Each structure stands twice: as C-alpha cells, then as structure tokens.
C-alpha cells in the first residue's frame, strides 16, 4: 500500500522536472540571499574589492606608466577575476556550513529536486558576484577604465565574468559539499587561489616574469580568462576568448561530475 | 493485514571496514509507533539515514510506504518527514521563515505555508518567538522548530532521530503528546531514543540494537517480561557499599545487574527479598532501601545488553550509563 487517507498523496511523485527545478531553485536562492545579503555582507561585497582595486592602483600606476601601460585600464579585469574567485570560495564555505548544520540532509530527505540545491546556490552566488563586478566596473570607470566597445562590450564583460564565477562555484561547491568543516574548506581553497592569480597575466604581462616562469603564466587558465576579459573590454583581438571558452568548458565538465558525486554522498 | 509501512530486511552499511549496521531487520505496521533503542554508536542514525535515502545501503532491502529506497527514492522522500538527530533549521532565518521555506519547497502556496506556520508555531509554544532569528533560540526551541518543520505537510511516515534529547521535562512531555496525536491521526512513527522511559511510554513496539545488530524485539511489556514479572531492587547510594553488596549477591544470583545507584535481582518475591536482606545483613552491608517492583525497561536494557555493553563501545561507560540512566527519570 502507498499513502494513507488524509495524507499528501505518496504516489510516485516526480521531484525532477523543470517546473520543480525552477521553483525550488528560486526558493533556495532566495533563502541563500536572505542569509547573505545583510547590510554588513553587502558592504563587504562592495568595499573589499574596491579596496584591492584602489590599493593596487595607487601602488603600481606610476610604475606601469613608465612601461607604457595604462594600469587603470589593465587592472580591473584582474580585480574582477580575483573577486569572482573569492566569491566562489565563499560558496564552498556556505555549502559546508549547510552540511554541518544538517540543513543539506533535511533538503536531501525532502522531495526537493537535486539540481535545485546546486542551482539555488549558483544563482545566489551569481547575484552576489554581480554586485561586486558592477561595483568594480563603476569605480574603475571613475579612474579612467573604458569599454572600447561601449555598452555591448560592458555587457559581454559582465556576462563572461559571471560565467567564470559560476563555473568556479560548481568546483568549489563540490569541495564544500564534500566537507563538514566550513573554515577548513575555505582556508584550503584560498591556498592555491593566490599563487594561481599571481602566476598569471592578471597583475603583470607575460614579459614581466622571468623566462622560466613564462610558460606557466602563458598556459594558466587564469591568464586565459583575464586576457579574454581584457579582449572584450578592448574589443580588438578576440582570439583569447576561444582559449577561455575551452578552459571553462573543460572545468565545467570536471567540476559538475565532482559536484554530482559530492551531493549524492553528502549526509 | 497490510504490508508494514516500514520494512527493513537484512540491512547492512559499513564505513570503511567497520560495519555500522550489520544485518538489521524489522517492520513497522501502519499507524504504529516503533522505538529504535540502543546505546551510542549502535547504528540507529545509520539505519535512519538508509531509510530516508540519505545513505545507500550496502546490502538488504528497505521499503517505506511501499517504495523501495533504492528503486524509488523519490517515492520514499514524498512519503516521509524527518527530523534528524541535530536540529536542521537555518540559524540565520527566523522561525517562521524556516517553516515557510520548507512548506513552499513542498509546493505549498505562500499563503498556505504562512497559515500552517502560524498554526505550528502556536502548537509548539513558539508563537512569540516565531519572528525572531533562530540563532537566538535555545536548544529546546530549535528542536521544537525542527519538528514543526517536518510537520508542515502531513506525511504518512514520520521519522524522528532522538527527538527529545536535550529537552526539559515540559518540552519532552509536549513532544510525546504530539507524537501520540500524530499516531492517533494514523501516522506511522519511527523514533530512536536512548531514553527507555520514552520508548516505554510511546512505542507500540521496540527494536533494541547494539553494535549494528538487533538484540531484541517486542512490545515494551514483552521486553520487560524478559527480566521476570517483577524484580527486587536494592538501593545503595554509597558506591563502596554497593560494590560489596554486588559481590555478595552475585554469589547467589549470577544474573543480577547493576543499575543507577542500585542493584536489580531478577525474580521479585517475598522469599527472594528476605534472602537478600539476610545475606546483606550477614555480610554487614548497609542498604538504603530494598523493594519489590515491576521491571523497568532499564532493567530489560541492562539485562539484554549486558553490564558493560553500553560503555565498552565508545570507551566511556560512565557517560553512556549516566545518559541511559538519567532517561529513566525515576
Ligand atoms: N559517516 C560516517 N563515517 C564513518 N563512520 C561512521 C559514519 N557515521 C557513523 N559511523 C559509525 O557507525 C557507527 C554507528 O553510528 P550511528 O551514528 O549510526 O550510531 P547511533 O546509534 O546513532 O549513535 P548515537 O546514539 O550516538 O547517535 C558508529 O561506530 C559510528 O562511529
Ligand atoms: Mg545517532
């Protein structure tokens, strides 16, 4: 027998299906945002990346000018990629926290679409990322950063940055789902993040590195993404876009597998 | 007779080399309350996790409301409500926001979820704190909110993992009342507990597990019957004196068990009582009280799991015994 009288019907309920996915993702994204869009959190999302931006700019602008590089134009994509990475890492922390508090177990024991938990997380990360990206662009504009391609270029820039964020979040999300230690997973992910950002064209052109490091910098996925963002902003040579797209696709495939596995195992 | 609402057959689950659940079988008839009783680390939560599709069994068959957990996990999820061992509510939302979120995830409309939340908050004595952040709640309040969250949409099967651990007596009685109400409304309830009194009061049937295996099944009465119709209880608060008494009594009755500040001798009749008093007097052991009483589930539990079975498992006999003993609330 299945389902007793007076109870919600227990006949094979499809928890999959696009309607459920969208509805439940939206509900969970709303919950995530409600949790992480307090005044203090928003201030952190806007102020911290701007501190990085103005800090780097103040220190290195003159030096880069001596080499004929307009740092105000060069720096914003780097700050965006750095901040997008940090936002993705915070997704891992939040997932690990949900696992630790049992929230995730509760959701998994309910007829909630399995994709919705991840999609809800991604959607809220996207919103948080968008706020930071726009803040950086606005500040950069004041200091002289321009999109050569106008509004279309700006839109493409934001879209690409968001794509990077979401792909990274799938990967960090997998790490978060596999962990019950929010602090530990955050610290562990921050460790490779900094060297990856430094050993790329984010903060200095390839020519600025010693020759033995140049191959590392040239083939770094971070370089691919930062170069692509610069290309979109300049609107000149769009070749880097292909390299970035290839990297993102590969990472997405690897990360989604890891995330699916981790979700299934997360008690 | 219809098929049991919950059916577990030969369930096995290991973590690494270690078998947490090692061949557990039991059934829960529709509309009844089943208590899963066992010491720390017995495997209760692991059974619950397999039953609620959170873990995949290594072997065995588990079905809930006619749905197999492996072949139709979605069907199982649509039939159960779970409150896990640790309150799983969002600390950063208010009590009401939590309830509304879970209701809406279960496809309630915003309005219906809001009305149901108000109703449940009142029922669980949380009406005044409903709009406060859960992080300001006490442990007991969180626990009650957790149960309320599970009840947003009525389900035929309710699974509760240690629902009253950490609750004060008033909240515990309130929780028991809710379980009884749900049972009379036809809900099938599976609950785990370390509190023997709780199983005794609530459960129609009890499954006792230890180290991943079922060591006894039956009604509370049947389990109590296993230690005799009545027992003699010798209360000796002084630990030294109790040890001495235990030595004296073990000499005559090899199956006496040591409880919480007392020694229990199976077979409670006047002759046994007289003999106990005589032997202890001869040995010069002072007693605080000697009485005949009906066996409690504690007695059954100690008898079934053996003296040290509670403690040996996680190496802290004092802690485990203390917890099980405290639960009897005598
Ligand atoms: N995820 C896990 N990984 C490794 N071992 C585990 C895991 N979960 C449980 N165990 C082990 O399985 C055994 C049974 O654990 P379980 O949590 O099911 O016991 P329990 O009866 O619920 O105990 P308690 O009363 O303390 O809640 C324990 O020895 C525990 O250490
Ligand atoms: Mg447990």
Q: How far apart are CA B329 and CA B321, in angstroms?
A: 13
Does residue B45 have its Cβ closer than 6 Å to ligand 1?
A: yes
Q: What is the mean pLDDT of residues A206-229?
A: 92
Task: Report the domain count for chain B.
Answer: 2
Q: How far apart are CA B48 and CA B7, in angstroms?
A: 12
Least confident of A208-212, B28-32, B255-259: B255-259
Kindly indicate the confidence band of residue B200, based on its pLDDT and cuts at 50, 70 and 90. Answer: confident
Query: Would you state the pLDDT for residue A19?
Result: 84
pLDDT > 60? residue B315: no
pLDDT > 90? residue B145: yes
Residues B86-109 have pLDDT tens digits of 878 888 899 999 999 999 999 999
Q: Is residue B301 part of a domain?
A: no
CATH number of the domain bearing residue B240:
3.30.70
Is residue A109 a contact partner of residue A266, using CB atoms and an 8 Å limit?
no
Q: What does the DSSP assignment read for B249-311?
A: HHHH-TT-EE-SSEEEEES--HHHHHHHHHHHHHHT---SEEEEEPPPHHHHHHHHH-TTHHH
pLDDT > 50? residue B313: no
**Inter-chain CB pairs, A–B, below 8 Å:** 113
Whether B256 and B155 share a structural domain: no
Does residue B42 have its Cβ closer than 6 Å to ligand 1?
A: yes
Whether B71 and B144 share a structural domain: yes
Q: What is the mean pLDDT of residues A208-212?
A: 91
Average pLDDT, chain A: 88
Kindly indicate the confidence band of residue A4, based on its pLDDT and cuts at 50, 70 and 90. Answer: very low
Whether B204 and B285 share a structural domain: no
Residues B104-114 have pLDDT tens digits of 999 999 999 99
Position with higher pLDDT, B219 vs A9: B219
Whether B169 and B258 share a structural domain: no
A213-249 burial, b at 16+ Cβ within 10 Å, e below that, comes to: eeeebeebbbbbbbbbbbbbbeeeeeebbebbeebbe
Kindly indicate the confidence band of residue B306, based on its pLDDT and cuts at 50, 70 and 90. Answer: low
CA distance, residue B70 to nearest chain A CA (Å)? 13
Choose among B292, B223, B312: nearest CA to B37: B223
Query: Would you state the pLDDT for residue A3?
Result: 41
- ipTM of predicted assembly, 2 dp: 0.83
- The domain spans of chain A are 18-265
Kindly indicate the confidence band of residue A245, based on its pLDDT and cuts at 50, 70 and 90. Answer: very high
Query: Would you state the pLDDT for residue A214?
Result: 92
CA distance, residue B92 to nearest chain A CA (Å)? 6
pLDDT > 60? residue A11: no
Position with higher pLDDT, A7 vs B187: B187
Kindly indicate the confidence band of residue B40, based on its pLDDT and cuts at 50, 70 and 90. Answer: confident
pLDDT > 60? residue A5: no
Q: Is residue B175 part of a domain?
A: yes
pLDDT > 90? residue B35: yes
Percent of residues, chain B, with pLDDT higher than 90: 57
Residues B69-85 have pLDDT tens digits of 999 999 999 999 999 88
Query: Would you state the pLDDT for residue B2?
Result: 63
Q: Is residue B302 part of a domain?
A: no
User: Which phi and psi angles does B53 have, rounded to 5°?
Assistant: 70, 15
Average pLDDT, chain B: 86
Residues A45-74 have pLDDT tens digits of 899 999 999 999 999 999 998 988 899 999
State which residues form the domain around B70: 6-224+311-328
A4, A107, A108: residue with CB nearest B30:
A4
- Ligand 2 midpoint to CA B151 (Å): 21
Is residue A99 a contact partner of residue A138, using CB atoms and an 8 Å limit?
no
Local structure of A266: helix, strand or coil: coil
Chosen for mutation from B7, B62, B71, B90 (greatest number of chain A CBs closer than 10 Å) is: B90
**Greatest mean pLDDT among A247-251, B1-5, B316-320:** A247-251
Query: Would you state the pLDDT for residue B134?
Result: 93
- In terms of phi and psi (left: phi > 0; alpha: psi -120 to 50; beta: otherwise), the region of A144 is left
Kindly indicate the confidence band of residue B157, based on its pLDDT and cuts at 50, 70 and 90. Answer: very high
Residue owning the nearest CA to atom 30 of ligand 1: B41
Kindly indicate the confidence band of residue B261, based on its pLDDT and cuts at 50, 70 and 90. Answer: confident
Interface of A with B (CB under 8 A): 1-8, 10-16, 23-24, 27-28, 31, 34-35, 101-103, 105-112, 267
Q: How far apart are CA A196 and CA A217, in angstroms?
A: 9
pLDDT > 90? residue B169: no
Q: What is the DSSP letter of B210?
A: E
Query: Would you state the pLDDT for residue A235?
Result: 82
Length of chain B as a residue count: 330
Which tokens belong to A130? 């968008």
Least confident of A31-40, A129-138, B199-208: A31-40
Q: Is residue B21 part of a domain?
A: yes
Local structure of A57: helix, strand or coil: helix
Q: What is the mean pLDDT of residues A88-113?
A: 91
Kindly indicate the confidence band of residue B324, based on its pLDDT and cuts at 50, 70 and 90. Answer: very low
List CB contacts of B15: < 8 A, sequence separation 6 or more.
none
The count of C-alpha atoms lying within 13 angstroms of the C-alpha of A17, restricted to the half-sphere facing its C-beta, is: 9
Whether B203 and B260 share a structural domain: no
Whether B195 and B245 share a structural domain: no
Which tokens belong to B7? 């059916």
Residues A132-172 have pLDDT tens digits of 999 999 999 999 899 988 898 999 999 999 999 999 999 99
Q: What is the mean pLDDT of residues A200-208?
A: 89
Residue with tokens 């929230």: A103
């Amino acid at each position: 027998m299945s389902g007793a009288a007076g109870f919600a019907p227990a006949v094979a309920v499809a928890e999959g299906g696009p309607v459920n996915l969208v509805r439940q993702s939206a509900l969970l994204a709303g919950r995530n945002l409600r949790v992480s869009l307090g005044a203090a959190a928003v201030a952190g999302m806007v102020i911290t990346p701007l501190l990085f931006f103005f800090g780097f700019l103040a220190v290195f602008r003159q030096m880069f000018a001596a080499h004929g590089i307009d740092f105000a134009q060069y720096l914003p994509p780097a700050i965006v990629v750095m901040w997008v990475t940090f936002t993705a890492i915070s997704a891992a922390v939040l997932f690990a926290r949900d696992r630790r508090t049992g929230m995730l177990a509760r959701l998994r024991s309910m007829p909630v679409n399995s994709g919705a938990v991840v999609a809800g997380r991604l959607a809220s990360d996207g919103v948080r990322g968008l706020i930071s990206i726009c803040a950086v662009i606005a500040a950069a504009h004041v200091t002289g950063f321009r999109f050569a391609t106008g509004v279309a270029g700006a839109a493409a820039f934001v879209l690409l940055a968001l794509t990077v964020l979401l792909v990274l979040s799938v990967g960090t999300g997998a790490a978060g789902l596999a962990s019950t230690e929010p602090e530990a997973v955050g610290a562990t992910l921050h460790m490779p993040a900094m060297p990856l950002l430094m050993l790329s064209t984010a903060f200095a052109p390839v020519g600025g590195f010693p020759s033995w490091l140049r191959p590392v910098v040239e083939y770094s996925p971070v370089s691919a993404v930062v170069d692509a963002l610069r290309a979109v902003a300049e609107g000149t040579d769009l070749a880097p876009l292909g390299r970035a797209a290839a990297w993102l696709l590969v990472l997405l495939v690897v990360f989604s597998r890891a995330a699916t596995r981790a979700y299934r195992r997360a008690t | 007779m219809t098929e049991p609402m919950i059916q577990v057959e030969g369930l096995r689950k290991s973590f690494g080399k270690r078998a947490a659940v090692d061949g557990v079988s039991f059934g829960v008839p529709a509309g009844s309350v089943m208590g899963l009783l066992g010491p720390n680390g017995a495997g209760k939560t692991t059974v619950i996790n397999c039953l609620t599709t959170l873990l995949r069994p290594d072997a065995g068959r588990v079905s809930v409301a006619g749905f197999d957990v492996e072949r139709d996990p979605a069907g199982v999820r649509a039939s159960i409500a779970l409150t896990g061992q640790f309150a799983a509510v969002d600390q950063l939302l208010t009590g009401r926001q939590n309830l509304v979120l879970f209701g809406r995830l279960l496809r309630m409309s915003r309005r219906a979820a809001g009305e149901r939340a108000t109703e449940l908050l009142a029922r669980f004595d949380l009406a005044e704190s409903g709009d406060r952040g859960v992080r300001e709640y006490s442990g007991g309040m969180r626990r009650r909110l957790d149960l309320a969250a599970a009840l947003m949409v009525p389900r035929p099967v309710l699974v509760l993992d240690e629902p009253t651990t950490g609750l004060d007596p008033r909240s515990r009685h309130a929780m028991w009342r809710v379980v009884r109400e749900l049972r009379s409304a036809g809900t099938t309830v599976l609950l785990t507990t370390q509190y023997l009194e709780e199983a005794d009061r609530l459960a129609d049937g009890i499954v006792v597990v230890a180290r991943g295996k079922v060591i006894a099944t039956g009604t509370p009465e049947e389990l109590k019957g296993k230690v005799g119709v009545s027992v003699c209880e010798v209360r000796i608060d002084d630990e030294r004196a109790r040890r001495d008494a235990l030595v004296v009594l073990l000499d005559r009755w090899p199956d006496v068990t040591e409880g919480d500040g007392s020694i229990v001798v199976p077979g409670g009749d006047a002759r046994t009582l007289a003999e106990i008093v005589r032997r202890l007097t001869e040995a010069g052991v002072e007693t605080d009280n000697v009485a005949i009483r009906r066996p409690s589930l504690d007695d059954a539990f100690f008898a079934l799991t053996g003296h040290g079975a509670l403690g040996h498992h996680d190496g802290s006999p004092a802690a485990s015994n203390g917890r099980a003993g405290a639960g009897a609330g005598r």
